[in-house]
């Protein structure tokens, strides 16, 4: 628990709990052209109103205390009863232009809202919600365009009794942020539709799934490609057809090569049957030819891939055993065959390498250090991050930040997801189906799913030096449709993932989809 129940709070007279916070007047208590006391170090612990800051609402619920992110102290908002409070600093005399507020935060979760905001800056208010993190600090950013020479920096809680936030090390500097990728994997869609799958907007209107996703703000789609899958889906022909629909919506395309006839992931990298028994030298040719063939066919029909993954979740390598991480020089040769083929089709296509375990900083370093040492070529780094498997959000931020800086490459989340309920719609038990498997502070509800996607987006946006590209949600359209199960060799196999799709059990878009419109 990150608050101290101090006697001082009993001496402070808060305003009525639940009082609505309002837009601040231009004549706030503090006015300067730079943010001051952003580390809350000026007063020590027990200060109700930190130096250079002002407060509004239930002021007894906001105070400084020991335990800062980098220094000795931090700002905490907490009360034993429900409260609504704002701690703010008004800046004037600013040069118009783009600015970024950066802050390190922790939060218990459970609030009606807890966020950082930039307001009265000349345009619409910009805000970033605080992710739930009860131990590790998480860095968030809020960008804004100042057009009237002033701006108010605002820290807000509308909280239930016992909810708390910690905030520290705020900076307000020139710069901007945002995400170029707001995407989803929709590899399941063609088969779903062929078997009767239906998709509806949030209002319940039946429609075209890519159009529904696009209208919610999605600008990128991801499609996996298998070599010769048993069910005839997710192969070259199907990818070409779906690519036309994606591009027709004005969206960009990521092609995810599995180099297998079925799922490839950290535990399985099985060669396609047609490549079984091939020598390492022949496998390099297989990778080049297959990659070139698919991408060149996409280009020929006017749907050039914007990004390509050379392998899927390749922590253990590809095309086992020749391309496993037990044989790094051979793995490097295979990956470079894919890279070369992709660039031969389109030099502007971004070539990414994709690992799972997005909270594993040391494992990610080990893999990419070896890749670099062996001359592997790549343009971007993709990580899968599922919080119920891969550790807390703070570990994810450490991993993705480190990857961006250590290798000087842009980074993105190739896969993330979260359940909006726990029960199954088909006969197969869901991958996540008990409360004990959930991430603390994120319930298996539509609101919990939305908060998860929001907070992952926020962390990627905060990657330093603008290297956070964005997020792909996995697997947005994989609803429970008989015959569209996980096993391409078994039409009766169930899904196991329908409770994490972006369409609910009535086939309606879940609220999480609206986060595709994230700035």
**Residues assigned a catalytic role:** 313, 415
Q: In a 10 Å sphere around its CB, with 0-12 CB exposed, 13-18 middle and 19+ buried, how is residue 109 labelled?
A: buried
- Both tokens of residue 179? 């995400």
CA-closest candidate to residue 138, choices 182, 115, 107: 107
The residue among 188, 267, 288 whose CA lies nearest residue 229 is 188
Tokens of 148: 């009237």
Tokens 């990298």 correspond to 269
Closest CA to 114 of 130, 103, 127: 130
Tell me how far apart the alpha carbons of residues 5 and 235 are, in angstroms, rounded to a whole number. Answer: 61
Burial of 329 (0-12, 13-18, 19+ CB in 10 A): exposed
Q: How many CB atoms lie within 10 A of CB 90?
A: 22
Pairing of strands 181-185, 220-225: parallel
| Spatial distance between the Cα atoms of 501 and 478, rounded to a whole number of angstroms | 6
Distance CA 182, CA 250 (A): 13
């Amino acid at each position: 628990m990150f608050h101290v129940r101090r006697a001082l709070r009993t001496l402070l007279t808060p305003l009525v709990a639940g009082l609505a916070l309002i837009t601040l007047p231009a004549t706030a208590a503090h006015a300067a052209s730079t943010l001051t006391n952003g580390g809350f170090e000026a007063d020590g612990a027990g200060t109700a109103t930190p130096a250079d800051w002002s407060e509004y609402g239930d002021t007894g619920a906001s105070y400084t205390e020991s335990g800062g992110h980098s220094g000795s102290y931090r700002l905490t908002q907490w009360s034993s009863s429900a409260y609504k409070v704002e701690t703010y600093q008004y800046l004037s005399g600013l040069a118009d232009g783009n600015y970024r507020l950066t802050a390190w935060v922790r939060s218990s979760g459970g609030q009606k809202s807890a966020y950082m905001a930039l307001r009265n800056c000349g345009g619409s208010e910009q805000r970033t919600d605080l992710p739930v993190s009860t131990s590790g600090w998480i860095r968030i950013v809020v960008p804004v365009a100042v057009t009237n020479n002033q701006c108010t920096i605002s820290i807000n809680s509308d909280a239930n009794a016992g909810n708390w936030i910690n905030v520290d090390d705020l900076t307000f500097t020139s710069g901007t942020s945002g995400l170029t990728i707001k995407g989803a994997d929709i590899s399941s869609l063609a088969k779903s539709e062929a078997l009767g799958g239906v998709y509806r907007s949030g209002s319940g209107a039946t429609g075209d799934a890519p159009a529904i996703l696009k209208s919610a703000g999605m600008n990128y789609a991801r499609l996996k490609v298998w070599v010769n899958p048993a069910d005839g889906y997710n192969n070259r022909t199907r990818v070409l057809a779906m690519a036309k629909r994606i591009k027709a919506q004005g969206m960009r395309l990521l092609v995810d090569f599995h180099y297998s006839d079925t799922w490839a992931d950290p535990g399985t990298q099985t060669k396609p049957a047609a490549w079984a028994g091939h020598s390492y030298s022949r496998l390099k040719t297989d990778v080049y030819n297959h990659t070139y063939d698919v991408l060149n066919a996409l280009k020929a029909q006017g749907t050039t891939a914007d990004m390509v993954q050379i392998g899927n979740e390749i922590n253990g390598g590809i095309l086992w055993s020749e391309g496993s991480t037990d044989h790094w020089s051979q793995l490097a040769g295979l990956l470079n065959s894919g890279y070369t083929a992709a660039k031969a089709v389109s030099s502007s296509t971004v070539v990414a390498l994709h690992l799972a375990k997005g909270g594993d900083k040391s494992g990610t370093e080990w893999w990419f250090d070896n890749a670099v040492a062996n001359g592997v070529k790549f343009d971007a780094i993709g990580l899968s991050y599922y919080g119920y498997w891969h550790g807390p959000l703070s570990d994810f931020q450490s991993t993705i930040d480190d990857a961006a800086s250590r290798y000087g490459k842009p980074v993105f989340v190739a896969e993330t997801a979260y359940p909006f309920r726990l029960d199954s719609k088909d006969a197969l038990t869901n991958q996540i189906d008990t409360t004990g498997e959930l991430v603390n502070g994120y319930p298996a509800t539509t609101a919990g799913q939305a908060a998860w996607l929001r907070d992952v987006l926020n962390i990627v946006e905060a990657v330093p030096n603008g290297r956070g590209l964005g997020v792909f949600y996995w697997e947005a359209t994989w609803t429970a449709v008989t015959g569209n199960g996980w096993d391409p060799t078994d039409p009766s196999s169930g899904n196991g993932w329908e409770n994490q799709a972006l369409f609910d059990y009535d086939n309606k878009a879940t609220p999480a989809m609206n986060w595709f419109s994230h700035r």
